[in-house]
Amino acid sequence: MAPAEVSPIRAQTGDLEAALRPLVRLGWMSPFERFLFEHPDYASTVALDELRRSEYGRLDAQQQAYLDYTGGGLHAASQVRDHAELLNANVFGNPHSTSPSSTETTQLVERARAAVLAYFNAAGKYTAVFTLNATGALKLVAEAYPFEPGSSLLMTADNHNSVNGMREFARAKGARIDYAPLTRPDLHVDVAAMTARLTQAEPGHNHLLAFPAQSNFSGVKHPLALIGQAQAAGWHVVLDAAAFVPTNRLDLCAVQPDFVTISFYKMFGYPTGVGCLLIRKTALPKLRRPWFAGGTVNFATVQGAMHVLSPGEAGFEDGTLNYLSIPAVEIGLRHLERVGIDLIQTRVRCLTGWLLSALLALRHGNGRPMVRLYGPATTAQRGGTVTMNFYDPEGRLLDYRRLEELAGEQRISLRTGCFCNPGAGETAEHLTEDDMRAGLAEGDEISLSRFVQVMQTRGGKSAGALRVSFGLASNFADVERFIAFAAGLRDQTSLTLGAVSFDIENCRVIRDGS
Ligand SMILES: Cc1ncc(COP(=O)(O)O)c(C=O)c1O
């Protein structure tokens, strides 16, 4: 940990800047002091350093730099303790009954449901359906939305595959499938193109727009104003909030998407295996469940081959709920509320800003940039997910899978690959349909490494990248560990993957030796 991590500086932002300005001029500041100078808001988040010690001590005890919060959040020690105490002090039975043990479970599940609705300021307006994860929530919408010939599913090119997969239900029912493109190089949704598509919907049919509040690829925060705009044009909206809510407030009084999808482990690490679909009550009657199951019917008969679906959320929760884990959701939400989502957002923004500038400043001995960033280069309209590729001094791509291994040897957890978001990656790398076909022409046995090789021969393109992401327990030392790792790749040539040279600054190939 950086010695300056626990700063004595508690000054107001203005005082701090004034005090440090002479030191900056003289170049006497430590990296942490310089960080505080450039991101004075960080000083207001010192409470999170104490929290890291008391609740996430395992990170520093094991010298781990955890940089994969978009993959999964980390739980506080007290969440697990409180949950274990709850389980050990009570008798919880299957909730589908009226026995004391069953009633006790039902009460806790309903308390957790109410806590979810209250957290998102959605009480009264939304129904909360517990699912396995965000993917399960998206599938519930996809299979129950009344797609038909004449209706449409519109998605942003930037979407997790669990949203992209919704198109298979739409396609099977004859709906039109369309994507709104992204702008380059920032990977924002192209709002003009989106608006044009929204106005082209065939009147009298059901239309569904699906987009992520925050990209799990680039960290871009897509405009939530699109929700109202789409609804005014007669569309229903699915907001995939999985990557947004761990570090941002989602107020469902301020924006009212028809469907919101969430995985709780991304918000507070524990429990896994529980997600949520929030359904706006006005949109609930639109959904038609394609089947029934234990737990979702008020009445079913074999002889009459009929059933009556349970009303509200009960009609969507198939089988037995994960009733021992669901109470841990309330514990997790309480934890997040105690910590303060705005504080987390501030810290993540400061750390992200510092990382972005440090990466952009990295140069090889010959002056060439080392890193190519995908997505916005500043913290405006973006969260704490930063995706990149590294290049050697001649502009040749470094093998990101080897980089993940090397980072792992330094106990840095990050992620590489496509992050289940092919559309954002394709846009970032200018991959075309022809490129995809060239990859597919390799046959069913195509592997990611072979695909990357094929893309290298097609104008030095890359498929996949390296991603770091920040969250609740991140600190300055974590970022510095990654920056030091990245700086260690200066003048590195042994990890070079392809023979094609890429000019990062001008975003073009400069030599193709393949
Ligand atoms: C934006 C986004 N949507 C959906 C998902 C799917 O979440 P899960 O795997 O928990 O269902 C993820 C997971 O990374 C995500 O980042």
Looking at residue 462, its pLDDT comes to 84
Looking at residue 199, its pLDDT comes to 96
Residue nearest to atom 7 of ligand 1 (CA): 134
7-16, 38-47, 258-267: least confident range: 7-16
Give the residue-averaged pLDDT of 86-115. 96
Mean pLDDT of the chain: 93
| Cα 134 to ligand 1 centroid, rounded to whole Å | 6
Residue nearest to atom 9 of ligand 1 (CA): 135
For ligand 1, say whether the CB of 427 is within 6 Å of any of its atoms: no
Looking at residue 29, its pLDDT comes to 87
Q: How far apart are CA 346 and CA 354, in angstroms?
A: 13
- Count of all residues that appear for the chain in the document: 514
User: How many other CB atoms are there within 10 angstroms of residue 91's CB atom?
Assistant: 11
The pLDDT > 70 percentage for the chain reads 94
Looking at residue 446, its pLDDT comes to 78
Residue 449 has pLDDT above 80, yes or no: no
For ligand 1, say whether the CB of 243 is within 6 Å of any of its atoms: yes
pLDDT band, very low/low/confident/very high, at 186 (cuts 50, 70, 90) = very high
| Cα 40 to ligand 1 centroid, rounded to whole Å | 32
Give the residue-averaged pLDDT of 322-331. 98
Give one DSSP letter per residue of 136-152, joined into a string: HHHHHHHHHS---TT-E
Looking at residue 11, its pLDDT comes to 40
Looking at residue 499, its pLDDT comes to 79
Looking at residue 2, its pLDDT comes to 40
Give the residue-averaged pLDDT of 173-187. 97
For ligand 1, say whether the CB of 133 is within 6 Å of any of its atoms: yes
| Cα 116 to ligand 1 centroid, rounded to whole Å | 18
Residue 7 has pLDDT above 50, yes or no: no
Q: What is the CA radius of gyration of the chain?
A: 24
| Closest to 154 measured CA to CA, from 208, 201, 216 | 208
Residue 376 has pLDDT above 60, yes or no: yes
pLDDT band, very low/low/confident/very high, at 15 (cuts 50, 70, 90) = low
Looking at residue 514, its pLDDT comes to 45
Looking at residue 508, its pLDDT comes to 86
Q: How far apart are CA 242 and CA 264, in angstroms?
A: 8
Instruction: Looking at 27-63, list the stretches that DSSP marks H as alpha helix, in order from N- to C-terminal side.
Output: 31-38, 47-55, 57-61
Residue 429 has pLDDT above 80, yes or no: yes
- Name the token pair of 101: 């043990």
| Cα 158 to ligand 1 centroid, rounded to whole Å | 13
Give the residue-averaged pLDDT of 88-93. 97
For residues 42 and 299, the answer to whether their CB atoms sit within 8 Å is no
| Cα 162 to ligand 1 centroid, rounded to whole Å | 7
Helix (H) or strand (E) holding 178: strand 176-180
Q: Measure CA 416 to chain center.
A: 14
pLDDT band, very low/low/confident/very high, at 445 (cuts 50, 70, 90) = confident
Q: Which of 130, 162, 217, 260 to mutate to test the pocket of ligand 1 (most atoms within 8 A of CB)?
A: 162
Whose structure tokens read 């959040």?
Answer: 73
The pLDDT > 90 percentage for the chain reads 82
User: How many other CB atoms are there within 10 angstroms of residue 325's CB atom?
Assistant: 18
Tell me the backbone φ, ψ of residue 384, rounded to 5 degrees: -90, 40
Looking at residue 8, its pLDDT comes to 36
For ligand 1, say whether the CB of 216 is within 6 Å of any of its atoms: yes
Q: Which of 240, 270, 272, 382 to mutate to test the pocket of ligand 1 (most atoms within 8 A of CB)?
A: 240
Could you list the beta-strand ranges (E) of 317-400. 371-374, 385-390, 396-398
Residue 439 has pLDDT above 90, yes or no: no
